[in-house]
């Protein structure tokens, strides 16, 4: 997508604060399956919602652990794509930027860490990234809550070194509340921005999906980037239909 509305470019150039919300679509061009995509192989008989829940872990801990181990392998094998890097560059261009992600793959963090913006390589005081649903590279003890990014693998579900409890991925499952501080920071970033971008998300999962509407209700310009319309599209001020890995670099290039 080459030409963008001049009004959109001006909104971005004039914005004091820009907030972006991303979903699985932004990692699709890195080669990771979205939640809407059907699962393949061994996992084709399961729906993600049926595995990403405390009930599933209670019922079949090894199955759930193995599903995350498979996904972690895939995440480790892929790199951020131009869409991730465009958002990292946007973060350097606007006075204040917050990136809220529903993704647990850590690819935004990797893009921010590896992006070198020639004239302004900003050293972030605190990371502009809010991982609303956690991060698959970390584990948490299901008993004592201890969080770790390394653990002893065994042929069963690994155990907590401290209390022997079963380890689980440090992500938010369906039916679990989001980390309070992350959700509060996300709501503040949605309500306090002039431009809110919703990128690669079907907008079906709450409370993340409500953030764009919170921004809209506070008068922010809402920009949606997606392959197809979503429940947000009719409310969005701009709907940029296309692949985020193509639309975002074009938008950043056209704006700055
Ligand atoms: C909560 C981490 C309070 C784990 C995730 C009924 C019963 C029980 C619960 C509920 C219910 N109704 C509502 C709820 C609440 C529930 C919910 O919203 N359910 C939905 C399914 C109806 N929410 C919760 O449970 C949340 N907690 O509400 O707490 C509470 C407490 C107790 C009891 C009840 C409530 C917790 C939600 C977090 C769940 N964890 N992830 C893991 O990853 O394994 S959610 C997970 O799915 C993702 O993180 C993401 O959020 C979501 C998938 O959405 P998307 O990211 O949008 O991905 P999706 O595949 O859907 O869409 C991709 C989009 O990209 C598409 O639009 C596509 O067109 C586009 N696209 C594809 N390729 C590209 C592209 N766009 C651009 N470029 C491309 N190349
Ligand atoms: Zn423990």
CA distance 23 to 198: 8
pLDDT band at 119 (very low <50, low <70, confident <90, very high): very low
Instruction: State yes or no: pLDDT of 250 exceeds 90.
Output: yes
Q: What are phi and psi of 233, to 5 degrees?
A: -50, -45
Q: Which atom of ligand 1 is nearest to the CA of 206?
A: 18
Q: Using an 8 Å Cβ cutoff, are 168 and 57 in contact?
A: yes
**Domain span holding position 91:** 1-32+80-133+177-256
Ligand 2 centre and the CA of 167: distance in Å?
Answer: 8
For the residues 113-136, what does the mean pLDDT come to? 78
- Are residues 99 and 224 located together in one domain of the fold? yes
- Are residues 151 and 229 located together in one domain of the fold? no
- Are residues 44 and 163 located together in one domain of the fold? yes
| b/e sequence 28-39, b meaning 16+ C-beta within 10 Å | bbbebbbbeeeb
pLDDT of res. 126: 76
- Are residues 73 and 200 located together in one domain of the fold? no
CATH number at residue 110: 3.40.50.1220
* Three-class DSSP category at 242: coil
Q: Output the residue whose Cα is nearest ligand 1's atom 80.
A: 243
User: What is the CB < 6 Å shell around ligand 1?
Assistant: 23-25, 28-29, 34-36, 49, 52, 102, 104, 133, 171-177, 200-202, 204-208, 225-228, 230, 243-245
Q: Output the residue whose Cα is nearest ligand 1's atom 20.
A: 205
Q: Does 133 qualify as catalytic in the annotation?
A: yes
Ligand 1 centre and the CA of 153: distance in Å?
Answer: 29
Q: What is the pLDDT of residues 143-177, one digit of tens each?
A: 999 999 999 998 999 999 999 999 999 999 999 99
- pTM, two decimals, is 0.95
Query: Domain total for the chain?
Result: 2
């Amino acid at each position: 997508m080459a030409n963008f509305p001049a009004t959109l470019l001006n909104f971005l150039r004039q914005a004091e604060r820009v907030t972006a919300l991303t979903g699985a679509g932004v990692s699709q061009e890195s080669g990771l399956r979205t939640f809407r995509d059907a699962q393949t192989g061994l996992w084709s008989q399961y729906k993600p919602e049926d595995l990403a829940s405390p009930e599933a872990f209670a019922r079949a801990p090894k199955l759930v652990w193995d599903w995350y181990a498979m996904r972690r392998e895939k995440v480790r094998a892929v790199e951020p794509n131009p869409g991730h890097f465009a958002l990292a560059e946007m973060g350097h261009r606007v006075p204040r930027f917050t990136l809220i992600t529903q993704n647990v793959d850590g690819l935004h963090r990797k893009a921010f860490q590896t992006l070198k913006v020639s004239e302004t390589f900003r050293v972030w005081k605190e990371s502009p990234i809010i991982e609303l649903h956690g991060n698959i590279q970390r584990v948490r003890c299901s008993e004592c809550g201890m969080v770790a990014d390394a653990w002893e693998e065994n042929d069963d579900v690994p155990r907590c070194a401290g209390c022997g409890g079963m380890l689980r991925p440090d992500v938010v499952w369906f039916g679990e509340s989001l980390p309070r501080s992350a959700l509060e920071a996300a709501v503040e970033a949605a309500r306090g921005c002039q431009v809110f971008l919703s990128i690669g998300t079907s907008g079906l999962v709450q409370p993340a999906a409500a953030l764009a509407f919170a921004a809209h209700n506070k008068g922010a310009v809402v920009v949606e980037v997606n392959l197809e319309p979503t429940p947000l599209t009719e409310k969005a001020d701009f709907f940029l239909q296309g692949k985020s890995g193509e639309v975002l670099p074009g938008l950043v290039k056209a704006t700055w």
